[in-house]
Amino acid sequence: MDLQKQLETLNAQGDYQAIIDTLTALPKEELTPALVSELARSYNNLAGPDTPEYYRKAIELLKSVESSLTDDHTFNFRMGYAYYYLGEEGYALPYFEKALSARPGDRDTRMFIEGCRQQLSLPQFQKSFARRVKEAWDSFVEKEAGLRELLGGGKNGAAASARCKELFAQVLGDGAAVDLSLSGGVYRLTLIPGEEKTQALSLCYFVKHAPDEVLHHWEVRVDCQGSPDALKEIGLCPTDGAPFPAEEITPYNREPEKAEAFPGEKIPLRRDILSGVTVCPLFEKEYLAGKTGGIDALHRDGAVPGFFYYSLTEDSPKGNSSGKEGLALRDSLQDKILQKAGDKAVTFLGGASGTAHEYLDFIAWDLPALLDAAVEVFKQSPVLKASFHTFRQDAGGVLLKEAEDVKEQEAAQEAPASVPPAEQNPSEETSGEAANESEAKEEASKETGAFVGFVLLSRTFWDKAQLIRDLKEDWGVDATENEVDGSAPTDRDTGTLIFTEGNMMATVSLMPVPVPDHEAEENAVHNYLWPQAVETAKDHKAHLIVGVMGENASLLDRGKLFVKVLAACCKQPAATGIYTSGTVFEPGFYKDFAAMMKEGSLPIFNWIWFGLYRDENGISGYTYGMEVFGKEEMEVLNADAKPGDVQNFLANMAAYVLDGDITLHDGETIGFSEEQRLPITRSQGVALPGMTLKIGYGKPE
């Protein structure tokens, strides 16, 4: 067997370690760029939440051959994949975009691009930077006596520094160094930023929040490298006694861009600014230039440079930062948010006034705590509308408040892409890399395993505790939440529920905006069983994203858990509809059909939407949702039958295919008895895009 076939066989078997062993055993001169890429792929597939070092290894390998494969789809996909599952979406996104350029229309690549943009619009971290800082100092407190002992007599400084760097690993990022020393009876802990200049900001925050028991023994400082101009550009966190020059406020004024420059569109965010002040000019500069180097480095560490933008009431000054009332309101909002969130959650950088919005800039060290505080403060404020945005042009905004009389939303700026947070990686095999697969298999695999649905909400509210109870009481599912940020869930942490069931992981995330691009209401029109579907979908104000993953679980098991979670969500007080399988279901309908699982039946009507339409030739119908299970969609054309009979026929066919894992082929026949022979034809879809299976209509006998 040649090497390539051997690798394909091992990959199909999921024996990634054997691939690694095989390739690393080759002489270096035989390890071509393509084989290095295959080696990186195996590290990607072997990696997981507990083994992130394998993603780092994949990146290291791929970077070594980047010059040879820079325009290759597979190379760029694998680089993006590794960064994505390290939680470094800012670094992943450009690679996925290059991968899509090399293979336009690739659905898996588009899925990851949407995932990156959603995470960059509303970042969610396993550990915020504030949490990482606390854990790092806690670890240091436990070990610092031993470190002082190592430094006794001025010796073993290198060993002590190396041990300290291990303790601080989760806050240091790439390139930062630690130096421990003892001089004149004073123990010194010095942090030295790496090449990424914004790292000085996070280290400055780290030093500021050193606990008293550390400061009792240690002099802690940051040794910033670089020119005074470079330090001035990144600004200064407001740190009492930090080892920086005195804090400098940089005012700026500019001519706002005019609406004529954007025909048919609104003036983009921050391009309406007349004047403002900042202690960190870098983020404003990068934002306007469409660059993200500084924010990507902080995002990687669990921190988020961003801003609030809000519209004032009609009797408040607009578009003039010198207006006393406007400045007073901005100062008041900042003070109240800081008081509620705490200085461990946020550092405010300044603000600005524009012709369309007022702006309040910050670095969020604990974004959930900051947004919770901001929602409460804006709710009590006189502003009409307020939103959150990161310092990224390619991200969406998140609506925090909208007064009742403000009906028109800035959809392009307000709506992040709606995809589930990817807490557990699907195998990279889903990328469609196998060049020799048949067209049918390639088409069928595009949506396989993508169990994603949306719960439409009448208001931005959900009861996580109730959902956990309902899953236990209705389905026996223990949704006890996985630890997030290294601690048990708190009453404040209500944005996301993540739990495991067997080999599967389920996620439920609250998005405080409607499903983007009017997608829900446009698809609600397909539900001929619920006349109010479209109107209900139009009225939703927020939504829950529900996703189920788990490569080691069967598709049916994943699908069943997916239905159980959505059915439990139907009991949420604000739930008005379930958007999945190409339409919007009435919650009671969805919940009732899910109950079929308790009787041992498959929840076919929850998984598959059976579309029906009539013309002069008869009744036609189609399935929507089979692709998720790796099966092709089916159609019945021009049947001389009642609509309900065609629907039941398709439901029986779907149940037969899914329950038995049956693959139907072009030219075969099928029947509900030995005598019945219904023809199967595979051709271009009539009611659906792509290829579908046309089944000759026949009643069960």
Name the helix (H) or strand (E) containing 390. strand 385-390
The closest of 121, 117, 108, 51 to 76, measured between CA atoms, is 108
Query: Does the predicted model carry a pTM greater than 0.75?
Result: no
What beta strand segments (E) does 625-674 contain?
A: 634-639, 669-670
CATH topology of domain 3-121: 1.25.40
**Strands 691-695, 634-639: parallel, antiparallel or unpaired by DSSP?**
parallel
d(CA 450, CA 630) in angstroms, rounded, equals 10
Under 8 Å between Cβ of 171 and 209? no
d(CA 170, CA 428) in angstroms, rounded, equals 26
Under 8 Å between Cβ of 449 and 426? yes
The SS3 call for residue 554 is: coil
d(CA 297, CA 129) in angstroms, rounded, equals 12
- Angle between helices 107-121 and 89-102 in degrees, nearest 10: 150
pLDDT at position 646 is 92
The closest of 337, 332, 358, 359 to 347, measured between CA atoms, is 337
CA atoms within 13 A on the CB side of 379: 8
Q: Which residues of 245-256 are buried (b: 16+ CB within 10 A; e: fewer)?
A: eeeeeeeeeeeb
Residue 295 CA to chain centroid, in angstroms? Answer: 16
Q: Please name the residues in contact with 683: beta carbons below 8 A apart, sequence gap of 6 or more.
A: 691, 692, 694
d(CA 127, CA 133) in angstroms, rounded, equals 10
pLDDT at position 98 is 94
The 8 Å CB, 24+ separation contacts for 675-680 are 675/701, 676/701
Under 8 Å between Cβ of 605 and 593? yes
Under 8 Å between Cβ of 568 and 467? yes
d(CA 165, CA 518) in angstroms, rounded, equals 49
d(CA 524, CA 267) in angstroms, rounded, equals 32
What does the DSSP assignment read for 405-455? T-----HHHH---------SPPPGGGG---TTS-HHHHHHHSSTT-EEEEE
pLDDT at position 88 is 87
CA atoms within 13 A on the CB side of 209: 24
d(CA 192, CA 244) in angstroms, rounded, equals 13
The closest of 399, 363, 367 to 383, measured between CA atoms, is 399
What beta strand segments (E) does 428-549 contain?
A: 451-457, 496-501, 504-511, 542-549
Under 8 Å between Cβ of 378 and 309? no
The tokens for 74 are 């597979």
Under 8 Å between Cβ of 254 and 300? no
Name the helix (H) or strand (E) containing 472. helix 464-475
The closest of 473, 534, 471, 470 to 504, measured between CA atoms, is 471
d(CA 210, CA 133) in angstroms, rounded, equals 9
d(CA 321, CA 567) in angstroms, rounded, equals 50
The closest of 202, 335, 319 to 255, measured between CA atoms, is 319
pLDDT at position 222 is 86
Under 8 Å between Cβ of 472 and 563? no
Under 8 Å between Cβ of 399 and 512? yes
Under 8 Å between Cβ of 251 and 277? yes
Under 8 Å between Cβ of 288 and 270? yes
pLDDT at position 566 is 97
pLDDT at position 426 is 36
Q: Is the dihedral of CA 422, 423, 428, 429 positive or negative?
A: negative
pLDDT at position 456 is 96
**Please, where are the H alpha helices in 105-175?**
107-121, 129-151, 157-167, 169-172
pLDDT block averages, 10 residues each, the chain of length 701? 82 85 90 93 84 91 94 94 88 92 82 78 82 93 90 76 90 85 88 82 90 93 68 50 44 66 73 87 89 87 93 53 75 95 92 91 92 90 91 84 54 32 34 32 46 90 89 92 37 60 84 80 90 92 86 87 96 94 93 93 94 89 92 93 91 93 91 83 90 82 46
The closest of 365, 338, 371, 373 to 208, measured between CA atoms, is 365
**Domain limits, the chain:** 3-121, 129-234, 250-414, 449-581, 612-695
The closest of 46, 102, 92 to 70, measured between CA atoms, is 102
How far is the CA of 67 from the CAs of 78, 98, 152, 387, 486, in angstroms? Answer: 15, 14, 49, 41, 39
d(CA 367, CA 373) in angstroms, rounded, equals 10
Instruction: Specify the residue for token string 């001929």.
Output: 528
The tokens for 28 are 């270096």
AA letter at 34 = A
